[in-house]
Structure 1
Amino acid sequence: MVQGSRTYIPVMPEHEWYRAELEQVEVFAPLIPAEQVWVEVLGARNEIVPHDRNDMPDRLVSLDAPPRREPIAIMDVSRLTGHRVVQVVEGVERRDLRAVTELHTSTDGYTCARVATELEWYRWAANGRAPKTREIPVNLLWIE
């Protein structure tokens, strides 16, 4: 939306967007000046690749933009439930997932976590009904 010489973008909290989707209702979002809105772009810069545990990530960030967050291997985090996760199978990323459990051993003996789609995650938060989940081996999961 353009008003005068400024461009505004409607922005709302993520949980409100999912609530609107679940309840099929219209939700109003405040208008934020475009220069204050940052959009995450996925692509070559966000490619998920294994990392060397001895590499110290560059901790310096610009104060002019949000920091870039690198995907983290699931085994490198202490808490998993609730985090956004990415499933990577043969180089193809599946996003829009949330971890519903911590790591556990599957009946087949693999280390796994159960994940749900973000829509199912927010439905669970809204109505308390357990989400539909899938068990994914840890070697296929990364935290966003």
Structure 2
Amino acid sequence: MAADGSRYEFPDPPPPTKAVPAVQCFDMRGARVIVGAAGRGWRGDLRADDPIMRGGELWVPVLPESEFYRSEDDGDEAIAALHPVETVWVEQADPAMDRRTAPPHLFERLVDNESPPTRYPVPASDVHGLTGRRVWVWRSGEFLADLRCVCEAFENSEGDIAINVCAERDWYRWARTGKAPRIDEALIHLAWVEH
């Protein structure tokens, strides 16, 4: 996924990510989730497994993304916290929603705290501190997701502004094992940060 001939493409931003109540979702294994409660707060960067019944109630096993990827790599069972299904929301891209970027001004960003907010993309060129951020990259007519930025913006050998990205799985493996990830270059105008 090296920077390619798409230097003259200027696609619309990726679709926003909305939170859907877990009770409305099926096949949740590996899904990105948010846990929390209205008026209290929200916690993301989590992955779920399929819900289970316990004591006549539905619970969702949830674990940090780093543990999810460790378990996937090692083939081990991970110990997940059980959350009542009504406190779990599944993150989903919604292509039907208006494709726009996150508003820059505070009063435009205010949300109703009854559910996790819809997350709109931010052009990578507008973001300070890109390293470690989850990004979308436009490549070959589609958005690639589950990527992490591994550096700040730089000028590449062709004089374009670019960033380096890796697969999210490799990002977490790098922290856990020290094995450097396979890095791919992306032109900054074709990258968006999840806000």
TM-score range, shorter chain: 0.7 to 0.9
Indicate the residue corresponding to 1:16 in structure 2: 67
Indicate the residue corresponding to 1:71 in structure 2: 121
Given that residues 97 and 116 in structure 1 are in contact (C-alpha distance below 8 angstroms), is that contact kept between their aligned partners in structure 2?
yes
**Which range moved further: 2-11 or 80-89?**
2-11
Given that residues 154 and 161 in structure 2 are in contact (C-alpha distance below 8 angstroms), is that contact kept between their aligned partners in structure 1?
yes
> Aligned match of 1:113 in 155, 159, 163?
163
Percent identity at matched positions?
Answer: 37
TM-score of the pair, normalised by structure 1: 0.88
Bigger relative CO (Cα 8 Å, ≥ 6 apart): 2
How many residues end up aligned between the 2 structures? 143
Given that residues 46 and 70 in structure 1 are in contact (C-alpha distance below 8 angstroms), is that contact kept between their aligned partners in structure 2?
no
1:143 correspondence with 2:193: yes
Indicate the residue corresponding to 1:89 in structure 2: 139
Q: Distance in 2 between matches of 1:18 and 1:68?
A: 25
Q: Distance in 1 between matches of 2:126 and 2:96?
A: 21
1:126 correspondence with 2:181: no
Unaligned runs of 5+ in 1: none
Q: Distance in 2 between matches of 1:117 and 1:126?
A: 14
Q: Distance in 1 between matches of 2:164 and 2:59?
A: 39
Given that residues 100 and 120 in structure 2 are in contact (C-alpha distance below 8 angstroms), is that contact kept between their aligned partners in structure 1?
no
C-alpha deviations, 1:76-130, integer Å up to 9, x for none? Answer: 1111000000012365111010001100011111100000000110111111121
Indicate the residue corresponding to 1:35 in structure 2: 86
1:25 is displaced (CA, Å) by 1.2
C-alpha change, 1:57 and 1:106, in structure 2 (3 Å) is: farther
Q: Between Structure 1 and Structure 2, which shows a larger proportion of strand residues? A: 2
Q: Distance in 1 between matches of 2:98 and 2:141?
A: 9
> Aligned match of 1:7 in 54, 58, 63?
58
C-alpha change, 1:48 and 1:108, in structure 2 (3 Å) is: farther
TM-score of the pair, normalised by structure 2: 0.66
Given that residues 124 and 192 in structure 2 are in contact (C-alpha distance below 8 angstroms), is that contact kept between their aligned partners in structure 1?
yes
C-alpha deviations, 1:13-34, integer Å up to 9, x for none? Answer: 1110011112221112121100
Given that residues 81 and 99 in structure 1 are in contact (C-alpha distance below 8 angstroms), is that contact kept between their aligned partners in structure 2?
yes
Runs of 4+ that moved beyond 3 A: 45-53
